[in-house]
Amino acid sequence: MDVSASVSTSASVSASVEAVFREERGRLLAALARRFGDLDLAEEVTSEAIEAALTHWPVDGVPPRPGAWLMTTARRRAVDRLRRDRTYAARLALLQAEADLAAPPPTVDGDLPDERLRLFFTCAHPALPTEDHAALTLRCLAGLTTPEVARAFLVPTATMAKRIVRAKTKIREARIPFRVPEPHELPSRLPSVLQAIYSVFTEGYAASSGPDLQRLDLAEEAVRLARVLRRLLPTQREVAGLLALLLLVHARRDARTGHHGDLVLLADQDRTRWDRPMIDEGRDLVIEALRGGPPGPYGVQAAIAALHDEADDVAGTDWPQVVALYDVLHALTPGPVVALNRAAAVAMRDGPQAGLALLDALADEPRLRGYPPLPAARADLLAQLDRLDEAEHAYTEALELAGTEPERAHLRRRLTAVRSAPGRRSRT
């Protein structure tokens, strides 16, 4: 842990101190949750220990082993609380906790042990509601407060607080363990951890509603979490695949919105504004994700993103390869959204008519009902085929469904373009 540099100067650096502690908070929380089996207690004493550090360290100097200091302080507070609270004492075996306190703190060279992997798996445990996995992960591993988590998912704070309290109660009362699954359990347990991080990213990258198209702080938080997970599970290829995918998409962030926050499609993006070092990092990870075994869905999606990132423009994109990868992805994770994306790639490879035929086959798919990209993609292809009346109708449909203002603005522009296209039949 390298907090000493940040803390030793003055109170004016407290913002950066808090940033440093965000990393440590997760570690401390994980270690304490494991020790006491109680997330609430762990959260409370983690906060108290960090507060104590923020009070004492600027005055007294940073202790030689900051991690051990934080851990000892937190554990002492926890035992105090257990002594005060009889129900806790009964439940959590006070004696054991006290004996534990007498033992030397479990730190490595003054650094906190990294037990966050356990916490990742607990937050995304299948016994907890899927929609709470990402929220708990943000709360416990990214150190976001409940109001911040609520903002991330655009729900009222009270609603999010209720969900988090309910989940934590279940973790405690049903005794969901803080443990890393055995290797044979990983195939069934790892996907929900990856999904939790991915849904933080997608919420940041394409906010499902609201005035802003992108909320980069959330996307960056997801990238950070994926990096942590990658360090903790270096041999899991799908973890490499997830991090690769996030990097390869996030690399386009600056080109994705125009001057007024308007949506710029992949086809129209200024590719010189893409983050090349990030793309290079992502491409190296794709190779790792796809090597040495059958590909997983994140690895394949990352490979598709890499093909886009490598191309100079849309025409120069290797569309046959993109379609082939979508075929692989569809075999791994069959679903209408994958089929929709595949259809768009087929349109690029074989022309709009071929893509449209595939999209029309999806028209009755119940899971795509109300999904704006479907009518938007149809509208684009219809416009290319000069079927302008139908294109207008489809853009209108997409516009009614679109969740964010930049998406709506984009669709309105397309609609206007179709309406005023030369050779357009005059309307009365």
Partner 1 sequence: MKYMLLINAGAVDENGGAAECTVEDWMLYDKQVRDAGILVSGESLADLVTATTVRVDRNGAPTVTDGPFAETREVLGGFYVIDVPDLDVALDWAARCPGARGSGSVVVRPVATFGD
CA-based end-to-end distance of the chain: 71
Does 267 bind partner 1 (CB under 8 A)? Our answer is no
Contact 108, 118 (CB under 8 A): no
| Amino acid found at 81 | R
- Tokens 């997409």 map to which residue? 398
CB of 177 to partner 1, least distance (A): 4
Binding residue for partner 1, selected from 84, 103, 175, 423, defined by CB under 8 A:
175
The residue among 26, 51, 68, 18 whose CA lies nearest residue 6 is: 18
Give whole-number Cα distances, 261 to 45, 176, 253, 256, 334, in Å: 41, 43, 12, 9, 34
Contact 233, 289 (CB under 8 A): no
**Which residue blocks in 61-129 are alpha helix, DSSP H?**
66-84, 86-92, 94-102, 116-123
Determine the interface stretch with partner 1 among 69-77, 167-175, 365-373, 387-395 (rule: CB under 8 A).
Answer: 167-175
Determine the interface stretch with partner 1 among 1-9, 62-70, 169-177, 193-201 (rule: CB under 8 A).
Answer: 169-177
Binding residue for partner 1, selected from 87, 272, 420, 428, defined by CB under 8 A:
87
Contact 243, 198 (CB under 8 A): no
Closest CB to partner 1 among residues 34, 256: 34
Does 92 bind partner 1 (CB under 8 A)? Our answer is no
Binding residue for partner 1, selected from 5, 90, 99, 267, defined by CB under 8 A:
90
Q: What residues numbered 116-145 form the site for partner 1, per CB under 8 A?
A: 127
Closest CB to partner 1 among residues 125, 256: 125
Instruction: Please state the separation of Cα 314 from the chain's center in Å.
Output: 27
Closest CB to partner 1 among residues 127, 165: 127
Closest CB to partner 1 among residues 10, 87: 87
Does 165 bind partner 1 (CB under 8 A)? Our answer is no
Size of the site for partner 1 (CB under 8 A): 12
Binding residue for partner 1, selected from 22, 76, 91, 271, defined by CB under 8 A:
91
**Which residue blocks in 291-387 are alpha helix, DSSP H?**
297-310, 319-332, 336-350, 352-361, 373-384
Binding residue for partner 1, selected from 5, 61, 86, 187, defined by CB under 8 A:
86
CB of 343 to partner 1, least distance (A): 36
CB of 147 to partner 1, least distance (A): 29
- Tokens 């009365």 map to which residue? 428
- Contact residues toward partner 1 (CB under 8 A) are 86-87, 90-91, 127, 173-177, 179, 181
